[in-house]
Structure 1
Amino acid sequence: MEFLQVLALALMPAVGNFGGGLIAEFVRTSRRTLSLALHVAAGIVIAVVAIELMPEALGGAVAWLVVGALLLGGLFSLVLEAGVDALVDRYGGDTGSGPWMIYAAVSVDLFSDGLMLGVGSAVSFSLAIILAVGQVLADLPEGFATIANFKDKGLPRGRRILLSASFALPCLFGAAVGYWLLRGAGESMQLAALAFVAGLLLVAAIEDMITEAHEAFADTRWSAMALVGGFGLFTLVASYFEA
């Protein structure tokens, strides 16, 4: 029963992503809107790391273990990114590979969301709930940005919706991996796993989301406010649930 609850939580980021995609389907999108959405998503992901994951990890595990796991998570994120780049180099070119690059990147991100929830549930189910809500908030603008990119590449609407719905699979798989690998593990290992996920998400927010946002549209003062607003939004939601 507990595992089914974890899977239900893991569906929440995928639903958020899908909901953001539906918004992009029915409203007019622009590169400026895409950039702002990615800044909001990055702010939320950074807040997840700063407010929930790292304080939880440092509160119960030795600092060297937490920092080591954080660095490993960042390294793992870079390895995943290198794998995506290698696939794009092999199958890319000017033949419409853009949507598939986006699909691979978002799949990796949603796998990390599921992994975070599986790991978080091993530490505390209430923590997993807060993280799930935070990822829904982050994945709404990410889903919007994803579908906006698909539209920009000329992918048909039916295929866009199908691909958006399929993002539930990597999220569920990540949750299952995180749950079963850490079930019964010691507290230090569970908290180190939180730091590992924090490293992965930190790289994704800074190197992927922010970089893509800058490529979509030149920075403005509103971009900075969108980043801070995303951070503040998750802080408010997390404080509400903890209260």
Structure 2
Amino acid sequence: MSAIFQKIILFSLIPVFTMVTGGIAAIYKKPNGNIRSLILHFAAGVVFSVVAVELLPDIVKQHKPLQIIIGFCLGLIAMLLIKKFAESREDQDVKVIESKLPLSLLVGIGVDIFIDGLLLGIGFSAGTKEGMLLAIALSVELLSLGMATAIELGQNKLPKQKSITIIALLSIIFFTSAVLGATLLHNLSDSAMEVVLSFGLSALLFLVTEELLIEAHEEKEAVWHTAAFFTGFLVFLILGMII
């Protein structure tokens, strides 16, 4: 095993740890509605910043509009179908109040985490320093996403053990995609990578606008909630500039 591959594995475990830790903390000490809204706003800001700082520059740089259209439309269609499927299941189980799985939200977060892992794996190829800083930035993002996921699972009255399992599985997705980014997908053609990144771009925008912010706005809006969104955006923006 090469030294760079060992570093990728080591540093990809940091975001995994922060996501699981944040999720477990939110599960066992459930935040009130105000804190819940703050966390969801912050997570939305961080994800939106990932789109602006990490994905868009790489996508625009390639100048491949056809691949962008294909990937973006596939991402939108996939998320709409998942949301439709989740809503139809909720309609069928309308009498069952507890243990509802927020499928579209989980898929959106899963796509986000998968793309993040790819970026980390590919980022280490640009240099060890860049990869380490990206791992730190992603740790902040996954910490907020882990807490946001735990909060939403709690809102849907899932058992604590099941919620922990779901968060652990999501963190494994990140680790797996980081390994893929460092090995298989690192050798993808520019056109294929453009489709993958555009798919992720669409899915992440859907996650922010149709899931995280909608859930966050269930609470009475306050100026601190809005500020949390922009704080999340600014944190990842600054970390992206450092990288």
Which TM-score band applies after superposition, normalised by the shorter structure? Answer: 0.7 to 0.9
Match of 1:187 in 2: 190
Aligned residue type for 1:101: P
Q: Which amino acid aligns with 1:137?
A: V
Paired residues in the alignment total 238
TM-score, with normalisation over the residues of structure 2? 0.78
Q: State the match for 1:15 in structure 2.
A: 17
Q: Residues 116 and 194 of structure 1 are in contact (CA less than 8 Å); yes or no, is this contact kept in structure 2?
A: no
SS at match of 2:102: helix
Match of 1:109 in 2: 109
Determine the C-alpha separation between the residues in 2 that align with 1:31 and 1:77.
27
Secondary structure of 1:223's match? helix
1:49 pairs with 2:51: yes
- TM-score of the pair, normalised by structure 1: 0.78
> Is the aligned partner of 1:203 residue 2:206?
yes
CA distance in 2, matches of 1:3, 1:194: 22
* 2:233 aligned partner, one-letter code: F
Rounded to whole Å, the distance in 2 between the matches of 1:189 and 1:31 is 42
Answer yes or no: is the 8 Å Cα contact 1:12–1:132 preserved in 2.
Answer: yes
AA at the equivalent of 2:200: V
The answer (yes or no) to whether the contact 1:69–1:192 under 8 Å persists in 2 is: yes
> For the structure 1 residues 129 and 75, does the alpha-carbon distance in structure 2 shift closer, same or farther, using more than 3 Å as the test?
farther
The 1-side partners of 2:94 and 2:183 are apart by 36
Task: Report deviation, 1:234.
Answer: 0.2
Structure 2 unaligned regions, length at least 5: none
The 8 Å contact of residues 10 and 113 in structure 1, kept in 2 or not, is answered as: no
Shift of 1:156: 4.5
Change in 2 beyond 3 A, CA 1:31/1:95: same
Aligned counterpart, 2:36: 34
Unaligned residue ranges in structure 1 (runs of 5+): none
Matches within 5 A, 1:10-159: 11-25=13-27, 27=29, 29-91=31-93, 93-98=95-100, 100-101=101-102, 105-106=105-106, 108-118=108-118, 121-122=121-122, 125-126=125-126, 132-159=135-162
1:44–1:171 Cα change, 3 Å: same
Q: Answer yes or no: is the 8 Å Cα contact 1:36–1:222 preserved in 2.
A: yes
- Aligned-residue sequence identity (percent) comes to 23
Tell me how far apart the structure 2 counterparts of residues 54 and 173 of structure 1 sit (CA, whole Å): 23
Tell me how far apart the structure 2 counterparts of residues 9 and 79 of structure 1 sit (CA, whole Å).
34
